Amino acid sequence: MKIYDDKHIKNVVLLGATKSGKTTLAESMLFEAGLLNRRGTVEEKNTVSDFHEIEHERGSSVYATCMHTEWRDYKINVIDTPGLDDFIGEVIAALRVADTAVLLLNSQNGVEVGTELIWNYVEKFQKPIVFAINQVDHPKSDFDATIEAAKKRFGKAVTLMQYPVQQGDGFDSIIDLLKMTMYKFPAGGGKPQKLPIPEEEKAKAEQLHNELVEKAAENDEKLMEKYFEKGSLDEDEMRQGLLMGMLHHDVYPVFCLSAKKNMGSGRLMGFIDNVAPSATQLFPEKTEEGKELPCKPDGPTVVFVFKTLIEPHLGKLSFFKVMSGEVNASMDLYNTKTRQTERLNQLFIMDGKNRNGIQKLTAGDIGATLKLKDSHTNQTLCLPGKDITIEPIVFPEPRIRTAIVTKNKADDDKLGQVLSEIRQEDPTLVVEYSRELKQVILYGQGELHLTVTKWRLQNIYKIEIEFIKPRIPYRETIQKSSQASYRHKKQSGGAGQFGEVYMKIEPYYEGMPEPQGVSVRHKEIFDLTWGGKMIFYNCIVGGVIDQRFIPSIQKGVMEKMQEGPLTGSYVRDVRVIVYDGKMHPVDSNDISFKIAGMMAFKEAFHHADPKILEPIYEVEVLVPDELMGDVVTDLQGRRTTILGMDSRGSYQVIKARTPLAELDKYSNSLRSITQGRGSFTGRFSEYAPVPADIQKKLAEEYGKTAVHAE
């Protein structure tokens, strides 16, 4: 394959809500450049991008797919991304290594929730943006309304580069405001005729062209001076001004096209070549060492792994961007995270599932390599001795969870290994082997995210699994003090068991006074791994219990706190005072006092007005204006406290606090209420008491389980 220098490499990521046409546009870009003999379609399941079996089955993208095209002596690396926020990790990783984001808007729907969610990350990464208004050939296309919605949401930086002469079924012509030319496409799409702008469009085109010239001039003082002197700018000067505006987020160029009919993709690629920045023109990368790393071919070789794909019969494929320097096949590089040296035996340019071997990649280029032993997504490879680590991608926290069990227990070990592999591929998928809940918990971005994971386990790895309802990590505590004693006595021939403990327990809070009426011999503070504290006081006097048995009492209390008396949940924020007891000179031992301490604590706990606490999550729900009432009603039925509301473009953000127990299946409910246009995020806030009726129900359910277990 041809090796391009850093100035002739452009990296773009195709972003947009589901069904905005990203995969179809990618196909048209490759076809237009002559890299494909025939354009595939999503419906026919033969596109370069959506090549995984699950994508064929679903009819939409699940993975970010790398491919490339060549246009007028430039190489354009294209990354097609999923449109659903269930797969936001794929979007973020692709956006992280792109030089320019091409954000597609469906001309029928304008700015959608999916667009809103993606935009938050575009702004975070501060990447130059191009808007592509797609599907202007659709009968319900409304280009002007889409532009108006984009300007309302994204601001005055939205800048028209083109507009359709007509839209809907008759769409075949575009007025280009940079070149002041009309492009008229043949019926089957492809290379257009360049024609003069029709008389009836001249006034509109001139006005919009002048606005474009002013926008280009605004971004450079020298260009502004030329504009004032000449009253205009030539095409090259405008390109320079537009580039500066894109780099500083002052200009978001807008193109229009029909990806399905292959009308407009060539002009978009031309703009990417001539105007959109290369990696060497972007601001330097930040390193964990607090330095900046410019993208230069003569700099130190630094490679950043942004994506991992594990194929059962192929092995691990690592996708990377050359952040600096050059990388050659069979080069040895050092992983700054694992401290291991890796050999890049082969280098590839990827086009979907097709691997094209190449000997060298230079700064700014994107490639892949096979079978790195100890390198994963978000890790940096550099020359030995350089120790340069690129700042890692910060992936979003999971939003939903499920428990996972194998149908065949013999698959348990295999499941653990496979989940670890899948986790390498998808950092937004979290696996927890919860000792507390006695379940394997799978966390994801949405129901579809988890469903795709289940499909992969069953169809690719041949592990039959079930998703079951995950338990809630409740906590138990007390609201008043109480006392109890317990005598453990067991005689069965020879030495017996004897231990008696008198105990007082109290609710603990920061700054509470020391216990009164007892003589404190020793105090120990335990910061519990599950939150809260346990304060243990040894107040034994007169030798009624030997000091060597005190740790056993403490151990018994701690064991019961790990399986609370009400629901078997962890106990927190309790002060324990051991003030009296008895022992036997022969029969007393560690196990006797451990049991006595455990049972005394259990007895006292039941009389201390025990309370079950539940995890509360802070939730933000993004919904269209017209559906806000229905969403609020649904939330209120989930014991939610509404904290406030805010507007974001044509959407509303509902801020609320909801118990985790009520968020089960909420993703499905929200999708149903909003016809897929709503989204939510949630994060743990605190533990709060459950209502009395729910506490009673939980305690009764646990009581039945405990009796059955006995």
Of the candidates 667, 565, 567, the one whose C-alpha atom is nearest the C-alpha of residue 614 is 567
pLDDT tens digits along 248-265: 999 999 999 999 999 999
The alpha carbon torsion through 409, 415, 416, 420 (nearest 10 deg) reads 180
Q: What is the DSSP-derived secondary structure letter of residue 289? A: T
Q: How confident is the model at residue 677 (pLDDT cuts 50, 70, 90)?
A: confident
Query: Is residue 563 pLDDT above 90, yes or no?
Result: yes
Q: Find all residues with CB under 8 Å of 643, minimum gap 6, and list them.
A: 655, 656, 657
What is the structure's pLDDT at 706? 60
| Token output for 122 | 């575009």
Contact 208, 160 (CB under 8 A): yes
Query: 679 forms bridges with which residues in the sheet?
Result: 622
Contact 616, 687 (CB under 8 A): yes
pLDDT tens digits along 405-447: 999 999 999 999 999 989 999 999 999 999 899 999 999 998 9
Other CB atoms closer than 10 Å to residue 145's CB: what's the count? Answer: 13
Average pLDDT over the chain, rounded to whole? Answer: 93
Please tell me the CATH code under which domain 476-608 is placed.
Answer: 3.30.230.10
Q: What is the DSSP-derived secondary structure letter of residue 373? A: S
| Token output for 560 | 């019961």
Residues of the chain above pLDDT 90, percent: 81
**Helix or strand run (H / E) with residue 311:** strand 302-311
Q: Find all residues with CB under 8 Å of 593, minimum gap 6, and list them.
A: 488, 499, 501, 545, 549, 552, 553, 556, 581, 583
Q: What is the SS3 assignment for 336?
A: coil
Contact 523, 536 (CB under 8 A): yes
Q: Read off φ and ψ for residue 207, nearest 5 degrees.
A: -60, -45
pLDDT tens digits along 287-330: 998 999 999 999 999 999 999 998 877 789 999 999 999 999 99
Query: Pairing between strand 430-434 and 533-538?
Result: unpaired
Give me the CATH topology for the region 285-382: Elongation Factor Tu (Ef-tu); domain 3 (2.40.30)
Contact 82, 91 (CB under 8 A): yes
> Angle at which helices 113-125 and 88-97 pack, to 10 degrees?
40
Find how far residue 171's CA is from the centre of its chain.
38
Residue 118 and residue 651: Cα distance in Å, rounded? 14
Same fold: 400-468 with 612-693: yes
Q: Roughly how many angstroms between the first and final C-alpha of the chain, as a whole number? A: 70
| Token output for 255 | 């193109």
Report the pLDDT averaged over residues 461-480: 96
Domain boundary assignment for the chain: 8-201+248-281, 285-382, 400-468, 476-608, 612-693
For domain 400-468, give the CATH superfamily: Elongation Factor G (Translational Gtpase), domain 3 (3.30.70.870)
Query: Is residue 144 pLDDT above 90, yes or no?
Result: yes
Best mean pLDDT range from 218-227, 548-557, 659-668: 548-557
Residue 31 and residue 40: Cα distance in Å, rounded? 9
DSSP secondary structure letters along 191-246: SPEEEPPPHHHHHHHHHHHHHHHHHHHTT-HHHHHHHHHHSS--HHHHHHHHHHHH
Residue 193 and residue 471: Cα distance in Å, rounded? 64
Q: How confident is the model at residue 614 (pLDDT cuts 50, 70, 90)?
A: very high
The domain at 612-693 falls in which architecture? 2-Layer Sandwich (3.30)
Q: What is the SS3 assignment for 141?
A: coil
Query: Is residue 473 pLDDT above 80, yes or no?
Result: yes
Q: What's the pTM?
A: 0.88
Query: Pairing between strand 347-351 and 641-648?
Result: unpaired
Contact 417, 330 (CB under 8 A): no
List the single range of 398-402, 478-482, 638-642, 675-679 with lowest mean pLDDT.
675-679
Q: What is the SS3 assignment for 28?
A: helix
Query: Is residue 269 pLDDT above 70, yes or no?
Result: yes
Query: Pairing between strand 302-311 and 315-324?
Result: antiparallel
What would you report as the CA-atom Rg of the chain, rounded to the nearest whole angstrom?
Answer: 32
Residue 642 and residue 294: Cα distance in Å, rounded? 46
Given the structure tokens 């003589």, which residue do they identify?
Answer: 519
Q: Where are the alpha helices (DSSP H) in 353-507?
A: 412-425, 447-459
What is the structure's pLDDT at 493? 67
Query: 158 forms bridges with which residues in the sheet?
Result: 252
Q: How many residues does the chain have?
A: 710
Query: Is residue 708 pLDDT above 60, yes or no?
Result: no
Give Cα separations from 561 to 251, 525, 696 (angstroms).
60, 14, 20
What is the structure's pLDDT at 30? 95
Residue 233 and residue 255: Cα distance in Å, rounded? 20
Sign of CA pseudo-dihedral 268, 203, 150, 127: positive
Report the pLDDT averaged over residues 103-110: 94
Please tell me the CATH code under which domain 8-201+248-281 is placed.
Answer: 3.40.50.300
| Token output for 207 | 């006005």
Residue 253 and residue 484: Cα distance in Å, rounded? 75
Residue 291 and residue 295: Cα distance in Å, rounded? 13
